[in-house]
Amino acid sequence: MPLNIQTRDLTPQQAMVIGFSIIILSGAILLLLPISSASGKSIGWINALFTATSAVSLTGLTVVDIAPNLSLFGQAVILILVKLGGLGFMLFGVMLALLLGKRITLKDRLLIQEATRAFSIQGMVKLVMYIVCISFLLEGLVAIILGFYWSPTLGWKQATYKAIFHAISAFNNSGLSLYPNSLQAYVGDPVVNLCITSLSIIGGIGFTVLLDVYSNRSWKKLSLHTRIVLLTSGILMLTAFILILAIEWFNPQTFKHLAWGNRLWAAWFQAVAPRSSGFYTVGITAMRSPTLWLIMLLMFVGTATGSTGGGIKVNTFAVAVIGIINVTKGNKDVNIFKKRINYQLFVNAIVIILLASSIIFLVTLLLTLIENSSQANSMAVFFEVVSAFTTTGLSMGITPTLSSIGKLILIATMFVGKIGPLTFAFALTSGSAETYIRYPEDKVLIG
């Protein structure tokens, strides 16, 4: 009996949109129940929908503080939504089907391929097993470390629960925290910093890359995709670390009051977190404007394709940059590491960047009009929109103050950011028949 996670007339992109919509609505209904609230009173349907969307999309933006406002049941709902958003409902569906002894159909494999962005449908079942196992293994390992580390001050019960919550949140790059000020209390704590950033990086480079690194432990044997992801990610994090350290070193509101070693930890954490995890150890609003622009760039680029993170994806950014360099050199091919990248991939990368930039611009314009934002907080609105679309979750504090319409706009932005602008566009347009007509070529002046 097939899994039937996709109906006959739906494309993988459409099935993904519908599937995540169902999960978000189901989560919102559960969070709307009085049992999900710490006070026993419903948090309201917009707040419930916003929180569910933020959890499933792995964004981390919140309109209500989780720990004081949600009960243990409500927090458990959020954790489940984060796992479903991180691994994808398709992967959980496959695991359930395998446990029940059901057959995985070709359509199911195509849907899994779309979700994981794998190169082919071969070995899909093994890939799913690997993804699920590695995610639970790493989350469990870090949860144990943090549990033991926090137990002397929090007690075993609280330490274990908070360790599990933050481990799951970190690996899935959701950024949701049980602390109202994220992890600012641990700004110079090496254990917490290493645990959270390590999980965020591993979750952000993608399962395909992890499997490739594990199978081929030599740089030369790694696939071109893996090398591009690892190299670009490393360059971005190292550059961001140096720039943030230099810009914020003498900032009295962020780094200046910290010990020398703590400044290094703070700079490292803020270099990693904006790429999608959404945690922070230094107040975002206290940072200088150049740092905020750098953080927005890191959020926009994001993590790797097929990972738990968001953004336009680091490999998309790399392909676009590599392609532009080749074009400016007059090359007709897009070459890197003595390999040639399909030119259509370069075109797709540019399309994704343009779509993402257009969406962010239009949503920012719409929000500033609706919320009557002054020039002073237009920067905060732009920052919030970038964070929502890239599913990062870093905030300058204006999200809870938005009107109901403003929150609904951010909900839609988070959803499109989770699906991906190009995938979402395919879901809306793939019903039309593909044309094989090629018209005569003509000339147009550009530049």
Of 381 and 1, which is predicted with more confidence? Answer: 381
Question: Is residue 104 very low, low, confident or very high in pLDDT (cuts 50, 70, 90)?
Answer: low
C-alpha torsion 78→83→86→91, nearest 10: -140
Of 117 and 254, which is predicted with more confidence? Answer: 254
Question: Is residue 103 very low, low, confident or very high in pLDDT (cuts 50, 70, 90)?
Answer: low
Over residues 177-186, the pLDDT tens digits come to: 999 889 999 9
The confidence score (pLDDT) of residue 20 equals 87
Q: Residue 243 and residue 268: Cα distance in Å, rounded?
A: 10
The confidence score (pLDDT) of residue 217 equals 74
The confidence score (pLDDT) of residue 6 equals 45
Q: Hey, where are the domains in the chain?
A: 1-116, 314-389+395-425
Question: Is residue 221 very low, low, confident or very high in pLDDT (cuts 50, 70, 90)?
Answer: confident
Mean pLDDT, the chain, whole residue set: 86
Out of 78-92, 142-156, 175-189, 306-320, which region has the weakest mean confidence (pLDDT)? 78-92
β-sheet bridge partners, residue 2: 103
User: For the chain, what is the radius of gyration of the CA atoms?
Assistant: 22
Short-list 439, 382, 438, 443, CA closest to 410: 382
Q: Residue 245 and residue 10: Cα distance in Å, rounded?
A: 49
> H-type helices in 117-206, by residue range?
124-154, 156-171, 190-205
β-sheet bridge partners, residue 70: 37
The confidence score (pLDDT) of residue 91 equals 62
The confidence score (pLDDT) of residue 389 equals 95
Of 90 and 23, which is predicted with more confidence? Answer: 23
The share of the chain scoring above pLDDT 90, in percent, equals 53
- Does residue 2 surpass a pLDDT of 70? no
Report yes or no: 341 and 335 within 8 Å, Cβ to Cβ.
Answer: yes
Q: Residue 94 and residue 362: Cα distance in Å, rounded?
A: 38
The confidence score (pLDDT) of residue 110 equals 62
| 76 CB-side CA count, 13 A | 7
Q: Residue 71 and residue 401: Cα distance in Å, rounded?
A: 23
- Does residue 3 surpass a pLDDT of 70? no
Query: Is residue 347 classed as helix, strand or coil in its secondary structure?
Result: helix
- Does residue 146 surpass a pLDDT of 50? yes
The confidence score (pLDDT) of residue 222 equals 87
* Backbone angles phi and psi of 336, in degrees to 5: -160, 135
The confidence score (pLDDT) of residue 373 equals 64
Q: Residue 384 and residue 361: Cα distance in Å, rounded?
A: 12
Over residues 58-76, the pLDDT tens digits come to: 898 999 889 899 999 999 9
Q: Residue 409 and residue 343: Cα distance in Å, rounded?
A: 35
* Residues 6 or more apart in contact with residue 293 via CB below 8 angstroms: none
The confidence score (pLDDT) of residue 122 equals 61
The confidence score (pLDDT) of residue 306 equals 79
Q: Residue 43 and residue 56: Cα distance in Å, rounded?
A: 18
- Does residue 39 surpass a pLDDT of 70? yes
* Backbone angles phi and psi of 2, in degrees to 5: -70, 165
Question: Is residue 145 very low, low, confident or very high in pLDDT (cuts 50, 70, 90)?
Answer: very high
Out of 15-19, 184-188, 252-256, which region has the weakest mean confidence (pLDDT)? 15-19
Report yes or no: 393 and 60 within 8 Å, Cβ to Cβ.
Answer: yes
Question: Is residue 157 very low, low, confident or very high in pLDDT (cuts 50, 70, 90)?
Answer: very high
Convert 21-54 to b/e letters by CB count within 10 Å (16 or more is b). eebbeebbebbbeeebbbeeeebeebbbbbbbbb
Locate 36 and state its tokens: 């999900």
Over residues 299-328, the pLDDT tens digits come to: 999 999 878 888 999 999 999 999 999 888
Q: What's the average model confidence in pLDDT over 115-122? A: 58
Report yes or no: 415 and 20 within 8 Å, Cβ to Cβ.
Answer: yes
- Does residue 285 surpass a pLDDT of 60? yes
Q: Does the model's pTM come out above 0.75?
A: yes
Burial class (CB in 10 A: 0-12, 13-18, 19+), 369: exposed
Locus of tokens 């599937």:
19
Full DSSP string of 235-294 = HHHHHHHHHHHHHHTT-TTTTTTS-HHHHHHHHHHHHHGGGTT---SS-GGGS-HHHHHH
Question: Is residue 164 very low, low, confident or very high in pLDDT (cuts 50, 70, 90)?
Answer: very high
**Which amino acid belongs to residue 436?**
Y
